A and B are shown apart, each in its own frame.
Chain A
Amino acid sequence: MQKLTTREDLERMANTIRKDIIAMLVEAGSGHSAGPLDLADIATALYFNVLNTSPDKKHDPDRDRLHISCGHTAPVWYAVLARAGYFPVEELKTLRKLGTRLQGHVDRLTTPGIESSAASLGQGLGIACGAAYAGKINNQTYQTYALLSDGEHDEGSTWEAVAFAGHYKLAHLTAIIDRNNIQIDGPTESVMRKENFKEKYEAFGWHVIEIDGHNFEEIISACNEAKAIVEQPVCIIAHTIAGKGVDFMEYQYQWHGNPPNKEQAQEALKQLRSLGDKITPSDI
């Protein structure tokens, strides 16, 4: 798997991922748009730069692990895994269809590269804690990442895991929060107050870094900083724009759980193409 190191290459790949997401969702006829689109930059940075993993390292005990907690963001992970060579890109069009390896929510048993199945919110961080704790027992130094939504911080179980990681000073554990400010019923702060994330995590013993989740330099540098901190777990609060890249979806909570129709998909792809991408979009 080729590591992408320039901002231009990373942005180009993220743009391809966004087009894949739109194409998958319109083909599937159901699924989540906003979260996958806003995670495209973080997912690209992780798989094409940060993570020490690849299709031929799937079972390597020393690989880095990513545990996705918000399983509904599946389309972005499928697109990234396909583009990283875990399975054929053509398979993306099978999303959510009977017999597919690409289930509506991430499933480790069917999709190559997915480390753990998830969707019922509030569980991925705990799984990541277990993975990090196993590394601690074995004296391994692989890095474990958990990808959480902001909305799932309503779940008490999320905070049980936050407390656990802080209590055991779990090193080599990085939680990334997709702070896109929306959830199904509306803006996060109107559904259930979340703030102050930073102070809450710090109170539980975490080191917290806040970044622009669409800025590759910030994403990669925060992940590197997190790796260097070995006394405590690290939380990266990634501020993102829900539906990033498609203007009529941006900031709109209504796009949390809906796919575009054909006309909307055409408009979305037109906008993404006009962002200056030079890679021929895959025709999936």
Chain B
Amino acid sequence: MSNFSKDAHLSPSTLHKDVPMAATRDGYGIGVVETGKKDESVVVLCADLTESTRSQGFKDAFPNRFIEMGVAEQNMAVVATGLALNGKIPFVATYAVFSPGRNWDQIRISACYNEAHIIFIGAHAGISVGPDGATHQAMEDIALTRTLPGMTVLVPCDAEEARKAIHAAITAKGPVYIRLGRNATPKFTSENTPFAIGKAQIFREGTDVAIIGAGPIIHSALVAAAELEKQGISCEVINMPSIKPIDHDAIEKAAKKCKAIVTVEEHQIMGGVGSAIAEVVAQTVPVPIEFVGMHNSFGESGTPDELLKKYRMDAPAIEAAVKKVIKRK
């Protein structure tokens, strides 16, 4: 009855109150230990945020392959480059406001221009960081990383997808950015849910509007789609964890099928997931698009739910965007 795509293998409790909760950073914490066991070239660098980035498990398991950098994100990116050019696979973990926020130049020249295979973990991204306020809410990191030549950009929608993204990242080439959230959010995908760099997945079939986006907000899109179905509006929900490379075919098919798109992200609408989707739509099947995300503003202190509501990045905001885009068809 939920119209979930069978191929997505979503949890039956996805829309129930008892859906398990976990932060995407927890998926990284599990995944990085798993990859560390598989491949001894994996090393982890952290800038004084070992526990909150969930790098502690790796540090405990492989103390000789964990490097404490101190609060020095610029040096963290370049030391990682030196390690990567000498056969290591470094994970560089800190908050997204600091990496790529503070060390973008080091990522551009040292990591990307050298084509160094480094996995940048941008933790505590999005407004749902909550009470720490605007200084710690990275709302620009996708735009910062997406423009860099050779960079892969991944935005997992839940902890399980984050774990898979970690595994996929170590087999990728060149630098990879993985965006993670602080807050516990529904863990609604399963071990069988497909994940591949460059691929989107249809989570829910629909015909009137395609909701496409990335991150935990995809769960809100499923909630919104269920509500809209009651009102006679059929929404397709497409999870697009790979912002770069982006799945052109999936976007083109959705534009042809639904003839209207709503993009969803917990990020500035300028330069983010919506922009990446709009670039494809504009060049293939130009259809109306509405953008759910941050509109040229800083966040503030508050609970995650309060902030997502106030800044219009929750299920009701997605519903409103769907209704608006239908009128433009």
Contacts and interface: CB of A to CB of B under 8 A. Distances in A.
A57 B47 CA distance: 35
A107 B112 CA distance: 12
B83 A123 contact: no
A87 interface: no
Given A107-B113, A161-B75, A164-B69, A123 B86 contact: no
B153 to A, nearest CB: 21
Interface residues of B, number: 30
A130 B84 contact: yes
B87 interface: yes
Contact of B82 (A127, A138, A167): A127
Contacts of A167: 70
B110 A160 contact: no
B136 to A, nearest CB: 21
B105 A127 contact: no
A75 B70 CA distance: 36
Contacts of B108: 120
Of B72, B82, B109, the most chain A CB neighbours within 10 A belong to B82
Interface in A158-199: 160-161, 163-164, 167
B78 interface: yes
Interface residues of A, number: 35
Nearest to A69: B78
Interface stretch (A37-45, A111-119, A207-215, A233-241): A111-119
B65 interface: yes
B106 A123 contact: yes
Contact of A131 (B75, B86, B106): B86
A137 B81 contact: no
Given A133-B83, A134-B83, A127 B113 contact: no
A108 interface: yes
Contacts of A129: 75, 78-79, 82
Contact of A116 (B85, B105, B106): B85
B114 interface: yes
Contact of A115 (B43, B65, B85, B87): B85
A157 B75 contact: yes
A103 to B, nearest CB: 10
B311 to A, nearest CB: 33
A272 interface: no
B64 A118 contact: no
Contacts of B114: 108-109, 116-117
Nearest to A125: B78
A167 B74 CA distance: 16
Nearest to B108: A120
A130 B113 contact: no
A137 B88 contact: yes
A122 B79 CA distance: 12
Nearest to A109: B115
Interface in A79-118: 107-109, 115-118
A132 interface: yes
A65 B106 CA distance: 20
B74 A116 contact: no
B79 A164 contact: yes
Interface in B76-118: 77-88, 90, 105-106, 108-110, 113-115
B70 A126 contact: no
A116 B112 CA distance: 11
Contacts of B80: 130
A67 B75 contact: no
B325 to A, nearest CB: 42
A151 interface: no
Contacts of B90: 130
A127 B110 CA distance: 8
A130 B86 contact: yes
B67 interface: yes
Given A126-B81, A157-B75, A134 B86 contact: yes
A249 interface: no
B87 A126 contact: no
Given A123-B109, A157-B74, A157-B106, A130 B81 contact: yes
Contacts of B69: 164
Nearest to A144: B82
A124 B105 CA distance: 13
A137 B75 contact: no
B43 A127 contact: no
Contact of B109 (A118, A128, A138, A161): A118
A109 B88 CA distance: 18
Nearest to B90: A130
Given A120-B109, A126-B110, A134 B82 contact: yes
Interface string B46-84: 000000000000000000110101101011011111111
A135 interface: yes
A156 interface: yes
B109 A163 contact: no
Nearest to A131: B82
Contact of B65 (A117, A137, A161): A137
Contacts of A130: 78-86, 90
B79 A133 contact: yes
Given A120-B108, A123-B110, A137-B43, 4 more contacts: A126-B75, A130-B79, A130-B81, A130-B84
Top 9 closest A-B pairs, CB basis? A130-B82, A126-B78, A160-B75, A134-B86, A157-B74, A160-B72, A127-B82, A130-B79, A131-B82
13 contacts: A107-B113, A116-B82, A116-B85, A122-B74, A126-B77, A126-B82, A129-B75, A156-B74, A157-B78, A160-B75, A161-B79, A163-B70, A164-B75
